[in-house]
Structure formats: structure tokens, C-alpha cells
Structure 1
Amino acid sequence: MEFGALIKFYRTQRGMTQGELAKGICSVPHLSKIENNSKEANQETVSLLLERLNINMKEMEENEEQIKFLLREFSSQINFYLKDQVEDTFQKLKDIEHFIPFSKYIYIWELYKYRYLLFKGLLEEAEAQRELLHKQKKNFSQHENYLFRYYNAVFLILKGQFKQADEILETLYTEKEHDTSSGEFLYHRALAKSSMEQSGHAIHFGKLALQIFMNEHNFLRILYTLMLLGINYTHSNIFEEAEACFRHLIRNAEIIRDKKLLPQVFHNMGYLQQKMKNFMQALYYFKKSLMLQPNHNHDYLVTLYVVGELQYSLNSFEKAKACFEQVSTLAKDLGNKKFSLLAEFYLLKMLSADKGFKYLESKVIPFLEGANEHADDITLFYKMLADYYNQKGLVVEAVKYLNKLTE
């Protein structure tokens, strides 16, 4: 407990001068040094000063122990993704927040508030907290500096700035001076690598994180890591491992009735089955995903579009048309240009192949290339254009898109 700051705070609050407080206990210069933490005071002097201020020293020490305990619980609950417990502990810390500036945990508490805002997805508030912490970072201990940099990486991941996040995590990892072997740190490394389409690295770090979460019996983190691994196994064409991840996820997400996780699992299982050419199974899983989602958000839009693509590939053109019309309307409502363009392409193509491919080449491809879309998305359309021009005998144009496929 920083008793000097505590004494100064309550003396000022009570409207007492240093002379009034120090009288009969110590000299005014001695009190001044205690308040500014430039001189260690013996326990008897501190006790007398606190007694005159009507402050119970034992209670203050108990508060510091309570702060220490709650901060440890808070960190653990975030790691185990225990949302209700996180809220409860955060409120308990807020209730005694006025004591925290007098403890040695002042910066840890501010850093944990930053982590809490990231955990809640409150990015504007997190950014404001980040700026506040940045101004104080010269006062951080080595561990606090590590936490600040790590949480900044999490912030960048949530903002979609994966390369910058990965650079911070890589630096922390190579320094080897901090706790970079925790499951949560390794999970975020895997997440950054996955978002940068570095599936091999994502699988490596994901497997390390999974083993730690399994050793900790960290159930929810195990499920989220399995999802990450399943997605990257799929992109790496390691289908057996991907299917094992998703089947395990389906069993457990159904048991706990996780309404957020289950539609994501069904969607990714559908995508896996689609890559494996099991189109009817893919359609089954995509439809299960749609049934569990609210029908006016981005995730629903993505799944609905994929169902439209599948129906089109299965020559169910009326069903495909109905899907793409719904995608077009929803994309415009949500302001999503990508899916508005893609739906329009398929709707035009069903009316006229020439009009559809002209629209694909002039509108869709430039947008996808400019937006740096996932490689699997854009290569599909390169192949479609190459095949289209090849069938029309336009070899130069066909070769142009075949070259793009190999770049």
C-alpha cells in the first residue's frame, strides 16, 4: 500500500493542513517527505497519521489483499472466457476502485480495464484507454510493459490490422522475457497467422495453444482453438483433421447449446464438405447454420450467398436465383458492396452468360483484387473467366487469367 499517497489524499479531502496532521506525531518536513513517497515512514508513525485521519490501517491492508485477489481472478476468468464471472469481478473491482490508486496495482488495474474492454469488443472505449495508458507507460514495470504491448496486439487483431499485430507478437515471442507460452498468447498468435492466410503457422501455434488449454481443462478456449484449427486444416486441404475438429465441435457446442458458436461450426463444416466435393452434405450444414442465425447480419449474408453458389453449381437455378435475390437485398441493406456485386454477377449470368462474365471482369474482379480478398474467393473467379474465354476460343484472354491463377 502506498501510504504516503493515501495520507495526502485523505488529508486534502478533510481540509487539514500538514501542520494540523503532523502535530505531536512528526515534523511537517517529515510528513511532506512521507506524502511524496520520498521517505519511508515507520509503521508507528503511519498508524498515528492514519488514526488522526480516522482511517483503519488494517482495513486498508485488507483492501490491498482483496485487490490482489480480484485482479488475479479477473485475469483467470478472461482466460477461461467466463463472461458472467468477468462481469461480476469487474464490478467488485469498480466498487473498490477508489482504493486502487494507493496500492501497487494501479497500472495493472488500468491495463486490465483495457483487456476488459477488448474482451467486450468495445473498441472505441478500448482505444481511449489505450491512449491513457500510452501516456503512463514510462512508469510501467517490465511485466506491465509486456501486458501493454500484448493487449495492443489483441486490439489490432480486433481492428483487422493483423500484420501489425503479428509483428508485436513476434517481437514479444523472440524476446523470451515474458509469459509467451500461455495458451491465450499462443491462441492470438495462431489467430493473427490465420487471418494473414499463413495456415501452416496458424496450425503450429494453434496446436500449442490447444495442448495448454487441454492441460488447464479450459473448455471454451479448447472449442475456439479447435475452430481455428479446423478452418486452417481446411485451407491446407488436410481434410481428415479438419473434419475431426468440426465433428468434435458440433458434439460439444450442441451439448452446451452455444447459440453463437454452433452456427459458425455448421458453416465451416459446410465449407469443408464443399471443398471435399460433398455438395449435398455441404448444403445440409449450410442450411443448419442459417436456421440458427439472425437473418439480418453479415454472417447470415455470407452463409446465404454460399448456399446460392451451391444451388447454382447443382443446377438448381430457381433456388439459386431466390438466394441471390435475397443476398442482393440484404447486402444493400447492410452496405456490403462485395456481396452486392457477387449476387448481381450470378443473377446476370443466369440471364446471359456474356453479360454475366462482362460484369465479373469489369466490376467484380477489380473490387476483389483491390480489397485483397481471400485467395480461394478470387481464384474461383479467375478460373471461371479462363474457362469462359477458352470455350469462346479467345486464347490470349484465357491465358491472362490462367497466369493470374499461378501468380
Structure 2
Amino acid sequence: MTLVGKTIKWYRTGKGLTQEQLAEGICSVTYISKLENGLVEFNEDILRKLSQRLDIKQSLILSRKNPSLEEDLKGWLEHIHIFHIPEMKKFYNKLTSSITDDLHVDHHTLYYLGLFGHYLLMDQLNEAEKIFKYITNRSMVFKACAPYSFYKFVGIYYRRKGLYNHAIEHLETAEEILGDEEDPELHLVMAQVYNRFNDILISNKHAQKAFKLFQDKLYYVRMIDCQVVLGVNYCLVGDYYSAENYFVKLKEVDGEHLLDKTRANIHHHIGYIRFHMQRYDEAQKYFKKALDFNISESDFLNARYLLSYIHVLKKDHYLAKKHINHGLMIAKNINHQRYIVKFKVLKMQLEKRDGELLDYLQHKVLPFFENSGEEVELKHYYYLYGQLLYQNKRYKKAAEYFMLARDHYMV
């Protein structure tokens, strides 16, 4: 199915034109309706006139499709979906040297979906954000092109940005589109999102399903990534002893089966466990080790955040400020609102700007985490807000927030 009709509809609605207004003097309204729904043969003369009226670049809907290029684009997408980075890079290098400005819309759309997925896997979040804005603005066309890729990649993007409610909405739609087929990468990312909701049973179900599928393919690297999620879930139920044993064993896995990113993740979570056991010196050592790996720091902002938190607890203002500013700079650079608010709160606490912090929690932080779906984080900030209210002798209001935070919470 070609995307010419959907492209015309997108441009028409973007200009606020009715089908009648677009058709006037060119063709019948019936033809426009059938064209937009892919129910009519194309008339090049009509398409040319429509493109002129809508200011569409003519090559987008009139150029010839290249079967060889289409095959390469689909191959690229396939390797992105299965997390096969070496082959993905080969296709990327081949395609970027052959892509031109006069692509047919079918190829143009596949290319940008592939580019979006490619940037996500390569941790190039700033580039991914630019593509995200482009494809979501034209979601009508991109959903028609490859709905599964669209919903899966957008879901992964939202997870990376800490917008978990949006992430799971898109990932569950992808799962529905997939039907009876199985994609272990989809199960893995859903497991990662559900543990942010503290839905441990659902997270474990997806992680175990992904593990079995990766095991069938002998894909050891991703099997270990599934085990990392299961280890995190031990932390979330407060079983630090089991979690620590789990991650220490993973740390000893043969190096060829671990990416640097996975090793960093394991060290980070051992640090996370030691942090919650209040063994801060040990935690600090593991967080520093995690950040020493060849990784994108944007994926390890939590290690930087917890390092900052430890220095705040130790009243080491110099190092606390250094790590907070570094983390805030990274978060702002990739527009990661979750960590922008977390680092800003920590900075205000360090600088004892209680009045400003009270206002920031009320108007920015609490609404953000109420919308993100992260119950554990939300309880932490309810408790902090309650403390500040109590210090300001607003006891009744403080009690309300202490009640909201009464369950166990973590940083």
C-alpha cells in the first residue's frame, strides 16, 4: 500500500482545507476521498495539480519507487527491531550514502522510522528527539507506513525520557498490533517500564518471557539484560539480600557476554542496593565505577543523581554541587524533564532555598510525577513536600501529604 493518499490528507488537513476545497477545479470530491483512502488508481496529472495546491514537493508523491532501496530500508528496520547493532550500522552506512532528497514518500517514511530507531539504539537522544517531533507531527502517515515500528519506537523513546505512562500506552498498542507473534525486545522494554510503575508481577512476566525468547536464540547479551530487570525487581520489593546476590553473580559473567552498558548497569544497581542499605561509601564506589565505563551518561543520570544525594547527606557541599551541576547540564542537554526536576530539587535542598523548593514541588515536581505514573518517586516527593509544610507550621496540610507518602518509598 502506498502512502500517497495519506500524505495528501495530512497536507490538506494541515492547511485546514476540506475535500471540496481541495478538489475544486481539479477533480471530483469522490476522487479525493478515494485517493486519501487508497481506493483509486493514481492520475499523475491530478497528483501534480494537487501537489501544487498543497505545496507538496512533487517528487514525494510522483517519483518512482526503487525496489532495491526499499529492500535495504526494510532490512535496516529488521535489524533495529532485533537489536542487532553491527548489522544495523552496516545498513545505516550504506543507506546514508545513497539517500537523496527526491525520495518517494513510501521510502522517505521508512527511512525516518529507521533513523528514529537507529538513534535510540545508539543513545543519540538529541537526534532522536528531532526525529520524534517530525514523525509524531506526521503520525497519520507514519502509522499507516509501519504501525508496529511507530508504536514500539515511540514507546521506547518515552521510556528513555522517563515519561512512563506515555511509554506503556504506545508499547501496549504495539503488542496488540503484533498479535500472536513474539518480539523479545518489546517484552524487555515493557518489563523495564512496568518496574517503574512498581508493577513487579507484570514486569517479571515480561522479563521472563523475553528471557526465554532470547534463550531460544542464544542471545546471551540480552538474556543478561532481562536478568538485570529481574534483579531490579528484587530491590523494588525490598529484598536487598537476594538482589545483591543476583547482581554480584551477574558481575562475574564472562566479559564477551556483557556490553559496557550492561556492566555499568550492574555496577549501578549494586550501588543502588548499598545506597538503600545506607552503606554509602560502598554505594559511592559502585556509582563511580558505573560512570567510568564507555557509556552514554544520559542513560546513567540516576547514578550521578545518587552520587549527588550521598554528598548532600555527607554535607560535602563542594562535591554535591559538582555532581548536581554536571547532572543538570546533561539532563538539560537532552531535555530529560525527569532528571531536570530531580536535580533541581536536590540543588534547592543543598542551598537551603526552602521557600522556592516548596513552590517548585507544588507546581512542577508533584504534577510531573503524578502524570508519569511512578508511584515510588511520587511518594518520595509527597514526603519531602510534607516535611517542608510541617516546617512552615502548616500541620494539617503536611499531615495530608505524610498520609499520601505513608507507604515505603525510595529515592
Question: What TM-score, normalized to structure 1?
Answer: 0.61
Is residue 124 of structure 1 aligned with residue 125 of structure 2?
A: no
- What is the rounded CA distance, in whole Å, between the counterparts of 1:394 and 1:156 in structure 2? 37
Hey, what does 1:307 align to over in structure 2? 307
Hey, what does 2:406 align to over in structure 1? 406
> Contact between 1:189 and 1:205, CA under 8 Å: does it hold in 2?
yes
- What is the rounded CA distance, in whole Å, between the counterparts of 2:265 and 2:323 in structure 1? 19
Q: Deviations over 1:64-86 (max 9, x none)?
A: 69975x56754553344332321
Question: What TM-score, normalized to structure 2?
Answer: 0.61
Secondary structure in structure 1 of the residue aligned to 2:369 = coil
Secondary structure in structure 1 of the residue aligned to 2:83 = coil
Instruction: Give the residue type in structure 2 aligned to 1:231.
Output: V
Instruction: Give the residue type in structure 2 aligned to 1:344.
Output: M
> Contact between 2:328 and 2:344, CA under 8 Å: does it hold in 1?
yes
Q: Deviations over 1:168-216 (max 9, x none)?
A: 443454577452x221222232234344443332222122111111211
Hey, what does 2:322 align to over in structure 1? 326
- What is the rounded CA distance, in whole Å, between the counterparts of 2:107 and 2:185 in structure 1? 18
Is residue 170 of structure 1 aligned with residue 172 of structure 2?
A: yes
- What is the rounded CA distance, in whole Å, between the counterparts of 1:278 and 1:401 in structure 2? 28
- What is the rounded CA distance, in whole Å, between the counterparts of 1:299 and 1:65 in structure 2? 36
Hey, what does 2:366 align to over in structure 1? 369
How many matched pairs? 326
Instruction: Give the residue type in structure 1 aligned to 2:348.
Output: E
Is residue 134 of structure 1 aligned with residue 136 of structure 2?
A: no
The structure whose RCO (Cα within 8 Å, separation 6+) is larger is 2
- What is the rounded CA distance, in whole Å, between the counterparts of 2:250 and 2:279 in structure 1? 20
Hey, what does 2:286 align to over in structure 1? 285
> Contact between 2:348 and 2:354, CA under 8 Å: does it hold in 1?
no
Instruction: Give the residue type in structure 2 aligned to 1:399.
Output: A
For the aligned residue pairs, the C-alpha RMSD in angstroms reads 4.6
Q: Deviations over 1:349-371 (max 9, x none)?
A: xxxxxxx7666545456542132
Q: 1:111 to 1:383 in 2, by over 3 A?
A: same
> Contact between 2:116 and 2:153, CA under 8 Å: does it hold in 1?
no
Q: 1:89 to 1:222 in 2, by over 3 A?
A: same
Of 81, 84, 107, 2:83 maps to 81
Cα deviation for residue 255 of structure 1 reads: 4.8
How high is the sequence identity, in percent, across the aligned residues? 16
Q: 1:324 to 1:213 in 2, by over 3 A?
A: same
Which runs of 5 or more residues in structure 1 are unaligned?
A: 1-35, 38-62, 349-355
Q: 1:259 to 1:171 in 2, by over 3 A?
A: closer
Instruction: Give the residue type in structure 2 aligned to 1:345.
Output: Q
Of 343, 350, 373, 1:346 maps to 350
Q: 1:157 to 1:365 in 2, by over 3 A?
A: same
Secondary structure in structure 2 of the residue aligned to 1:371 = helix
Cα deviation for residue 304 of structure 1 reads: 4.0
Cα deviation for residue 324 of structure 1 reads: 2.0
- What is the rounded CA distance, in whole Å, between the counterparts of 2:401 and 2:301 in structure 1? 28
Q: Deviations over 1:270-327 (max 9, x none)?
A: 1122223444432331232244478x965676434423433554xx43xx22222214
Hey, what does 1:115 align to over in structure 2? 114
